[in-house]
Amino acid sequence: MNPLKILYLCHRFPFPPKRGGKIRPFNMIRHLTRSGHKVTVASIARSGAEAEEGRGIAQHCERFEMAVVNDAVQAARMVLRLPTLVPSSFGFFHSRSLASRVRSLLAAERYDLVFVHCSSVAPYVAGVAGVPKILDFGDMDSQKWREYSRYKPFPLSAGYWLEGVKLERVERNLARRFDLCTATTRAEWETLEGYATGVATDWFPNGVDSAYFAPAEDPHDPDTISFVGRMDYYPNQECMFEFCGKVLPAIRARRPKARLVIVGAEPPPAIWKLAERPGVTVTGSVPDVRPYLHRSAAMVAPLNIARGTQNKILEAMAAGVPVVTTRVAAGGVDAVAGEHLLVADTPQEQAAAALRVMDDAAERARLAAAGRARMLSHHDWANSMRRLDRVIERCLADYAKRPAPEAEAGRAAA
């Protein structure tokens, strides 16, 4: 592929890649730049601190445009969209400043490709013509919001359901305004394909930095299990409430010294309160999650609400730590239940699976080795980025086949 000039938009400023919403776009940007493409990154930062940290993206792209927003203002934008057909969540990621900068870039520069990660920032360029455009949905957010509605009390449940309905409608419409659309997993791709928009679709998986998340030589503690994930994220909160209430007591009935360490930034008061329960430790934000993973007999990811790929699962497996997770969370990982990780849905099954690893050192060693090997073979970023290259080549080739009058009309519209 010849070097391209690419405008890349994403919903969270992609540096440093500390959380799921930043890891995928960062690895794409870094790969494209290393491949010789000239990448301009455009996104929002939610605070001055995030903006300052985000400037480190400069070494991974040719140029970046950042709009710093205020959470209170963005929340107000969400509220204003409640009575409209526009998803409220889209309001949070809208910035007049960023929209103006994107328009200026497109007016001043001629790009070979516009690439958008996450549907919530697709409106910035949905109306742009005369240049090939790819929309990477990542996860199909509409389905996640519908899942939320099952776990929220009324009337919140109705609000989440309505947001899911609005999102699905907009996802369908946005897909039609791009030349090719992608997702993170085969399951998410099947949802996208089910929209039957007539637009070309594909998928490429998330990877994991298997050199960074490498096994440790120090021994683990057979009485310790961990959960790693941001604790300001509702699905993580919900599953920890259930696990601490129903699963950990069953584990401690067999192993009285068993303890669960909940590792993740921004825990709300209700999560901190879990530390008052026997055997529960809540760390809050930590500089490095790896020591907590390596100390664990297993990393539990008992999520009831999950879309796409759970990076926490990839990272634990790469680190040589067995994973106990639910079927819905395992669906985003290219691994075989029972061979590379353990899948358990009910509290009884989850307790039994965790105890299986805690009680049996040989079984833990088997799962640790198999999980790590699977990450190296099926969730390596280099392999994923090769798939991304093929997606881009396909988009450009299809765009080039369009009749000349259509292409010229598009350029005129731009």
> Residue ranges per domain, the chain?
5-207+381-413, 221-378
Q: Which fold has domain 221-378?
A: Rossmann fold (3.40.50)
pTM of the model: 0.88
For the chain, helix (H) and strand (E) counts, in that order, are 18, 13
Give, as one character, the DSSP assignment of residue 245. Answer: I
Query: Which of 384-407 are b and which e, b meaning 16 or more Cβ less than 10 Å from the residue's Cβ?
Result: bbeebeebbeebbeebeeeeeeeb
Contact 45, 66 (CB under 8 A): yes
Q: Cα separations (Å) of 347 from 27, 300, 327, 340? A: 36, 12, 13, 21
Query: How far is Cα 24 from Cα 32, in angstroms, rounded to an integer?
Result: 12
DSSP run (H or E) holding 117: strand 113-117
Amino acid 363: pLDDT: 98
Amino acid 83: pLDDT: 86
Cβ count near 176 (within 10 Å): 12
Per-residue pLDDT tens over the stretch 276-319: 999 999 999 999 999 999 999 999 999 999 888 899 999 999 99
DSSP run (H or E) holding 77: helix 71-80
Query: How far is Cα 185 from Cα 335, in angstroms, rounded to an integer?
Result: 12
Amino acid 404: pLDDT: 63
Phi and psi at 33, nearest 5°, equal -65, -45
Domain boundaries 5-207+381-413, corresponding CATH code: 3.40.50.2000
Per-residue pLDDT tens over the stretch 327-362: 999 999 999 999 999 999 999 999 999 999 999 999
Give, as one character, the DSSP assignment of residue 204. Answer: -
Measured CA angle at 135 (ends 228, 12), to 5 deg: 40
Joined together, the tokens standing for residue 300 give: 């539990």
Amino acid 243: pLDDT: 98
Query: Which of 24-45 are b and which e, b meaning 16 or more Cβ less than 10 Å from the residue's Cβ?
Result: bbbbbbbbbbeeebbbbbbbbb
Q: Which residues of the chain have pLDDT under 70?
A: 404-414
Q: Which residues contact 367 (CB under 8 A, 6 or more apart)?
A: 322, 323, 340, 341, 342, 357
- Pairing of the two strands 259-263 and 221-228: parallel
Amino acid 413: pLDDT: 44
Give, as one character, the DSSP assignment of residue 270. Answer: H
Q: Which of 287, 272, 276, 278 is nearest to 231 (CA)?
A: 272
Contact 413, 130 (CB under 8 A): yes
Scanning the structure block, which residue is given the tokens 């395992």?
330
| Domains 5-207+381-413 and 221-378 in one fold | yes
